[in-house]
Structure 1
Amino acid sequence: MKRLVIALLFVGLVAGGLGLTVGDGTDAEREAAVPALALTRLHGSGEVHLAQATSAETPTLLWFWAPWCPVCNGEAPKIQKLAEQTGGKLAVVAIGGRDDLANAPEFAAQHGLTAPTLLFDESMQVWAHYRIPGQPGAVLLDRDGREQQRWQGAFDSNLALRAAEAL
C-alpha cells in the first residue's frame, strides 16, 4: 500500500510539473522563447526586437546568412520566393551576420530581397542563442516562438514550408 501511495505521489508530481511547462501562448511566454535582442533593420531605420519580428500568428523561419557566403548567395532568391509565396502560412525573417553591416544592403539589393523581414546581427547574439555554427542556417519556430526544426547549409525551402504547414 505504501508503494502505491508513493507511486501515485510521483505520478502527481510529474503531471503537475508537465502542467507548469505547457504554455498557453501568452506574450510573456513568447518573449521568453524568442530572445529579447534588438537587431538592425535593413529596410527602414533603427532596430527591431526579434520577438517583434517573429509572428505569433504563423510559424516563423529564421534564415541566417552572410553577404560573402556563396551558398547564401545561391539561396537568397529562393528565400525571397518563399517569403512571397507562403500565403500567410509562414513568416520569413532573414538574419545576416559574420560580416560588417555595411556589406548587407548590397547583398539584399543584389538578390532583390524585399519580402522577408531583413535584419542584421553584427554582434552575433542571435546566432549564438540559436547555436548557428555557420551559414546558411535556418530555424523554424512555432507560433509560440519555440524551435521546431533546423537546417544547416543549403536546404529545400519547400521542406520548410511543409514543416510550417504541419505545425
Structure 2
Amino acid sequence: MRTRSVLSAALAAALLALAGCGANSGTGNETADTQSSGSSPTGLPPASPGAGSEETTEPEAPRPLRFTATTVDGKHFDGTTLAGRPTVLWFWAPWCPKCKAQASATSKVAADYAGRAHVVGVAGLDRNKAMKDFVADTRTSGFPHLSDENGKVWKRFEVTEQSRYVILDKDGKTVYEGVLPAGEGLAEKVSGLVG
C-alpha cells in the first residue's frame, strides 16, 4: 500500500511540475496553453494562416463592379476584374450610327491605355449576332464587349440610351457619364485618371 501512495505522490508531483512549465516563466519551455497568447514552443510568434503561401486576399471590389455577364463571344465576364484601374464602359447598339462613329476613338483608347485602364463595350438593344457583326465591322475586337441582350448591365449603370460612356475611377466611382460624339475627349478623360 505504501508503494502505491509513493507512486501517487510522485505522479502528482510530476504533474504539478509539468503544469508549472505551462506558465510563461520565460524559460522557453512554454506549452500549448501559452500558444494561444501569441507565442509558440520555439518562442517565436505563431505563423499566421496562409503564411508563406503565394495566395493573397484581394480587397473587395466596389459595388458597381460586382456583376457578371457574357461577352459577345460567349465567354464569362466578371466585373470585379475591373477593380483597381480606371474603367470605360461604352454602351452601344449595333444599328447605331453614333456608336459606329465612336468605335475608332474607343478602340484607340483601349490600345493606348492597355494595362493602365480598362475599356469594355456593353452592347444592347439587339441580338448577339448583330453585336458580333458590329465588333467585326468596326474592328473593335481588341477589348471585351458584353452581350447585354437582357439589359442587366445597362440597368445597373442606369443607361437608358445607346452611345453612352460611363467612366469609373480606380475605386469604381462614376466620374463621367454621357455622350462623346465620335469619341472626342475620351482619351483626355482617361489620361486624367491614369496620371
> Same fold judged by TM-score > 0.5?
yes
Partner of 2:111: 84
**Higher Cα Rg: structure 1 or 2?**
2
Residue 49 of structure 1 pairs with residue 49 of structure 2: no
Shift of residue 159 of structure 1? 2.9
Partner of 2:55: none
Which SS does the other structure have where 1:27 is aligned? Answer: coil
| 1:99-154 deviation digits (Å, cap 9, x = unpaired) | 11121110000011122221111111111111112111111112222212212352
**Are the aligned partners of 2:62 and 2:83 in contact in 1 as well (CA < 8 Å)?**
no
Map 1:7-156 → 2, pairs under 5 A: 27-28=59-60, 30-36=61-67, 38-43=68-73, 45-52=74-81, 54-56=82-84, 58-86=85-113, 88-152=115-179, 154=181, 155-156=183-184
C-alpha separation in 2, matches of 1:114 and 1:77: 11
Per residue, is there more strand in 1 or in 2? 1
Aligned Cα root-mean-square deviation (Å)? 1.9
- Matched to 1:75, the amino acid is Q
Unaligned residue ranges in structure 1 (runs of 5+) = 1-25
Sequence identity (%): 25
Structure 1 pair 87/125, CA: closer, same or farther in 2 (3 Å)? closer
C-alpha separation in 2, matches of 1:163 and 1:134: 26
Which SS does the other structure have where 1:77 is aligned? Answer: helix
C-alpha separation in 2, matches of 1:87 and 1:103: 26
Residue 160 of structure 1 pairs with residue 150 of structure 2: no
Shift of residue 84 of structure 1? 0.8
Unaligned residue ranges in structure 2 (runs of 5+) = 1-57
C-alpha separation in 2, matches of 1:112 and 1:99: 19
